Amino acid sequence: MNQWIKIIAGLLACIGLYGYYSFSTANVPAELPNDGIVKIPTGCTRDSLPLVLLEQGFLLDTNSYKTWANLMDFQTVRSGRYRLTPSWSNYKLIRHLQHSEQASVKVMLNTEKNAKQIAAKLSKFLESDSLSFITAFSDTLALDSLGLTPETLQTVIFPDTYAFYWNTSPTAFLKKMVKKHKAFWTEARLAKAQTANLTQLQVHILASIVEGEASKNEERPRIASVYLNRLQKNMMLQADPTVQYALMDIYGGGYRRLYNKDYQFAHRYNTYINLGLPPGPVGLASPASIDAVLTPETHEFIYFCAKPDNSGYHNFAVTHEAHMVNVKNYQTWMQTRK
């Protein structure tokens, strides 16, 4: 009897030592890839998770991990992007995956002009690929439920640095943008748009043109007023950003130098051949450009041309004759730089 007691006690001691050893021994490597960030894809299961961790370089032994996952009743795997600590034990690793919040990822949207470029940028940082975002951006029924169309999509996206969870879906992305957009359009801004006899869409379209033209914040209200003056006079807007957008829509790429033939490029967004505003924004409009349209400078200028000094500022003119003098001065200056 005493012998059996000793055997059982020994077995219990061995089990206890093994449990303590596996509890305290590191199963996460001491050196981690990707700054300690592991990505658990959507659809990952409890059975496939250890292989995901192993393949990404965040697990040493799958067998001991599975033992502890059973002991801790780790059933539900939450997809996402998680930051791990080197040399964690199985217990600490599993507790972290069970209860911790995801590590967010920062995405800067700024220079993107159309849905394709926005989708390409998002897919570099988030789980969904570019095609998934493009599909969501062109799904008319889904967009309609959010009060959007493919043409108005860019109105709800501001140039900014955003914090997203890695597994944010295209639909969740759009909902977040719509919420931010609604918060931006305060009663005061809505009243200004109504006073100017402009819809929100028209304000965003004009603001996107201003965004493409102005490199200096203080010039935005003046440039906005130029285009508002042209609209009032029923003039062609003749806005270069609309030509750039049209070319990108057909040929891809980014902004490039425009040639005389480009201004006659047949496209519905080209305001050199189409009267009035284009159908939608020609890029992302910042709050500064939107407010410039809502609170423009009061003047009679209808022309502007870059100053011949590489300053980023412009010379403005009321008459075409004065404008052509500014254009000639700029062209002469450009010739001296070659």
Task: Kindly state the DSSP code that residue 26 receives in the 8-state scheme.
Answer: B
Helix (H) or strand (E) holding 315: strand 314-317
- pLDDT tens per residue, range 164-213: 999 999 999 999 999 999 999 999 999 999 999 999 999 999 999 999 99
* Cα–Cα distance for residue pair 272/238, rounded to 1 Å: 4
pTM, two decimals, is 0.87
pLDDT (mean) for 91-102: 93
φ, ψ of residue 42 to 5 degrees: the values are -60, 135
Q: At what angle do helices 187-195 and 287-294 cross, to 10 degrees?
A: 50
- Scan for tokens 């030592």, then name that residue: 17
- Delimit the domains of the chain by residue range: 2-99, 105-184, 187-299
Residue 13's pLDDT is what?
46
Instruction: Please report which confidence band the pLDDT of residue 7 belongs to, taking 50, 70 and 90 as the band edges.
Output: low
pLDDT (mean) for 147-161: 94
Q: Is the pLDDT of residue 6 over 60?
A: no
Q: Judge: domain 2-99, CATH 3.40.50.300.
A: no
Q: Residues 224-252, buried b or exposed e (16+ Cβ, 10 A)?
A: bbbbbbbbeeeeebbbbbbbbbbbbbeee
pLDDT (mean) for 141-163: 94
Residue 269's pLDDT is what?
97
